[in-house]
Amino acid sequence: MQNKRLIIILLVVALLLLLPLIAMQFTDEVNWTLFDFIVAGVLLLGTGLMCEFVMRKVNKIKLRIAICVALLAMLLLIWAELAAGIFETLLNG
């Protein structure tokens, strides 16, 4: 079961990265570079693997949920900062 979850994580990351790739074929509004795909892949894969690690190591269900929600919130905040610069740091796009 644990190896199946890893395969599912990889497939979900690949499918999520296919969305902007397909969108780039139909519109000029989506303009990702190779670096954008690499950063997005690292963020998505890292978050998925960290959640998997939490699922394997943490026994209390409420704590698992809380940690995974915090990880997903961090992913969304980093993604928003990279995309639009909502916090006006040096990382903004």
Give pLDDT tens digits for 26-74.
988 888 889 989 999 999 999 999 999 999 999 999 999 999 999 999 9
- Averaged over 5-31, what is the pLDDT? 92
Is 48 a domain residue?
yes
pTM given for the model: 0.84
Identify the pLDDT of residue 82.
83
Query: What is the distance between the alpha carbons of residues 83 and 92, in angstroms, rounded to a whole number?
Result: 6
Q: Residue 29: inside a domain, yes or no?
A: yes
Residue 81: pLDDT above 90? no
Q: What is the pLDDT of residue 44?
A: 95
Domain count, the chain: 1
Are the CB atoms for 9 and 49 separated by under 8 Å? yes
Range of the domain at 29: 2-84
Q: Has residue 91 been placed in a domain?
A: no
In a domain, 89, yes or no: no
**Does residue 90 sit within a domain?**
no
Could you tell me if residue 71 is inside a domain?
yes
Which pLDDT score, from 0 to 100, does residue 30 have? 85
Q: Which pLDDT does position 93 carry in this prediction? A: 54
pLDDT confidence of residue 3: 83
Classify the C-alpha dihedral 60-4-6-83 as positive or negative.
negative
Structure tokens at 80: 């928003």
Least trusted range by pLDDT, from 11-15, 52-56, 86-90: 86-90
Contact (CB, 8 A) for 48 and 13 = yes
Whether 27 is covered by a domain: the verdict is yes
